[in-house]
Amino acid sequence: MKRSVAILSSAVLVVALLTGCGKGDDNAEASKPTNQNQPAQAGDQANANDPLAQFPKLNLPFSVDPNAAVVEYQGGTLSGKEFETFLRVINFLNPMQGQMIEVADQEMLKTFAREFTATKILAAKADAAIEKESRETAEKSFDKIKGQYLSLLGKDEAKFDKLMENQGVSKDVVIDQMTLINNSINVLKKNIDDAMLKKMYDGMNKESLTVASVRHILISTEKRKPEEALKLANDLAARLKKGEDFAKLAKEYSDDPGSKDTGGLYEDADVSQWVPEFKDAALNLPIGQISEPVKTDYGYHVMKVESRKQKSFDEMKEQLRAQALEQEYDKFGKTELDKLITKYNLPEPKPAAGQAKK
């Protein structure tokens, strides 16, 4: 899990529904449609007609006594019931993470348990003002999540209610869980002020701060000899310097599927994301000038920088706050959390946990 469960705010989790839903086999994308060239079975056809079928019940890969102490820590415990509820809510908020839960091995269960224990410990430090803010955010986020589900369920409230019932959660349970997560986040945020963020900003290099709008035409060397690609790139550069329309030539010649349909344009993009040669040209090419062919591992690029600027502190503040939040959580984990946890009593995963659900 690249990103800690404990610091996934409700607002972040909401986005999960927009990026893909449902559950498939281990090698399929969650939102990938059924192969329409295969004959449909009766059960498959029924599922295709039922939007609830894309959100099957979460099958936990273990059994645990609700009253058992799954994790013991200084000042409290994480019960089996709390752990199950947490995993079911995470699945409801992010169906794709539910797939990870169903195939979790012992180490992954420990990670989930550790993250939720961190959430409980941090949330316990919340005062009344934090609690109020966290619950209000959770309630608004629930409404957004519900709206996204309803858009996938034909605006059918009854189906949404059935979905929640199938998932073993309720509105109150979800809001309580999101409030707990938000409490833990807001407790960490108390340690993050503008002075800290400004120090982070001042320490960033030029590349990290620069955004540019760049047009390019990629002449790939994947299906051409390098000398053939270079000749075509030089020809196109010459035509562009004579005034031919960049967007038109990009749509006709570019081998970059990510920008071909936009006339070769990447607009207001972080230059730090690009490969070194392309990034260097984006940082240094004079505005409006047609480049000589720029060679990368992909082939030859003819480029034109249309605009370039460095993001201000105000523009970067929320991104820096998110980075600082990650750092605060990492610091808490390394310096406090594992000292506070005294014992894990994790349930054994079932043998079928490593198999995809049919």
Q: Residues 6 or more apart from 245 whose CB is under 8 A from it? A: none
Q: What per-residue confidence (pLDDT) applies to 6?
A: 44
Sheet strand arrangement including 341-344? 76-79, 69-73, 341-344
**Residuewise pLDDT in 10s, the chain (358 residues):** 444 444 444 334 443 443 344 343 333 333 333 333 333 344 444 455 677 888 888 899 999 999 999 999 999 999 999 999 999 999 998 888 888 899 999 999 999 999 999 999 999 999 999 999 999 999 999 999 999 999 989 999 999 999 999 999 999 999 999 999 999 999 999 889 999 999 999 999 888 899 999 999 999 999 899 999 999 999 999 999 999 999 999 999 999 999 999 999 999 999 999 999 999 999 999 999 999 999 999 999 999 999 999 999 999 998 899 889 988 988 998 999 999 999 999 999 987 544 444 4
Pairing of strands 299-310, 210-220: antiparallel
Dihedral sign computed on CA atoms, order 257, 96, 179, 51: positive
CA distance 278 to 256: 13
At residue 10, what is the residue type?
S
The whole-angstrom distance between residue 101's C-alpha and the CA centroid of its chain comes to: 17
Give the pair of three-digit tokens for residue 27.
């090698």
Nearest CA among 69, 104, 50, 84 for reference residue 168: 84
DSSP string, 172-183: HHHHHHHHHHHH
Give the pair of three-digit tokens for residue 100.
């990870």
CA distance 28 to 33: 9
CB 342 within 8 A of CB 72: yes
CA distance 16 to 92: 10
Query: If you ran DSSP here, which 8-state letter would residue 51 be given?
Result: G
- In order of their start, the domains of the chain are 5-190+328-354 (no CATH), 206-310 (3.10.50.40)
Looking only at Cα atoms, what is the longest distance across the chain? 77
Q: What is the pTM of this model?
A: 0.69
